[in-house]
């Protein structure tokens, strides 16, 4: 896959959501708990739980307390605090995120998850895998794989009507 500048890369978030839904449908069982990473992953988990009709409510998890860049980012806990409305101990967890890049956020949320108990398993599903991993973390499902330069960022936005779209920026 070649690198594409953000202004020329078009990702249809709604079409990719349909692919993610299909992949998650294959992974989820009635005992699976969806946990979305704040914020894009939380939006995805909310919609996936509704579309799949899972009996367990979805959870939301924050990476704020376990980030390895805490000293440069600071603590931003509040509306993005972890909320897991189910027992984590022994549960199959399907961790949902919008964009996977270095793997550091995934590592942080897994550490946060284990603060609530020891799950039977943790499986990762992402809307977009942009490569660039710094840790040995791979998703079981990704709707798309893209390559962006390290200076560019992609994130998921949600319109007031609840539709997904991507936002690109140079950092």
Would you give the end-to-end CA distance of the chain in angstroms? 22
Structure confidence by residue, pLDDT tens digits, 21-62:
999 999 999 899 999 999 899 999 999 999 999 988 999 999
Region 136-164: mean pLDDT is 95
Q: Please give the Cα distance from 152 to 148 (Å, whole number).
A: 6
pLDDT tens column, 76-116: 555 558 999 999 999 999 999 999 999 999 999 999 999 99
Distance from C-alpha of 54 to C-alpha of 29, rounded to nearest angstrom: 8
| Closest among 63, 67, 113, 65 to 93, alpha carbons compared | 113
148 φ/ψ angles, rounded to the nearest 5 degrees? -130, 150
For the whole prediction, is pTM greater than 0.85?
Answer: yes
> Which domains does the chain possess?
13-170 (3.40.50.2020)
HEC secondary structure over 52-98: HCCCCCCEEECCHHHCCCHHHHCCCCCCCCCECCCCCCCCEEEEEEE
């Amino acid at each position: 896959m070649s690198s594409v500048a953000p202004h020329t890369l078009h990702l249809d978030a709604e079409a990719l959501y349909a692919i993610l839904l299909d992949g998650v449908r294959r992974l989820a069982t009635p005992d699976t708990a969806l946990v979305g990473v704040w914020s894009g992953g939380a939006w995805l988990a909310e919609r996936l739980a509704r579309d799949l009709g899972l009996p367990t409510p979805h959870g939301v998890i924050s990476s704020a307390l376990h980030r390895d860049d805490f000293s440069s980012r600071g603590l931003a806990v509040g509306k993005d605090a972890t909320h897991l409305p189910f027992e984590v101990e022994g549960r199959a967890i399907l961790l949902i995120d919008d964009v996977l890049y270095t793997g550091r956020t995934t590592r942080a949320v897994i550490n946060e998850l284990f603060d609530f108990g020891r799950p039977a398993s943790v499986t990762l599903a992402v809307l977009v895998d942009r490569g660039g991993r710094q840790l040995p973390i791979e998703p079981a499902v990704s709707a798309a794989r893209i390559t962006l330069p390290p200076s560019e960022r992609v994130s998921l936005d949600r319109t007031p009507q609840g539709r997904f779209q991507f936002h690109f920026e140079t950092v």
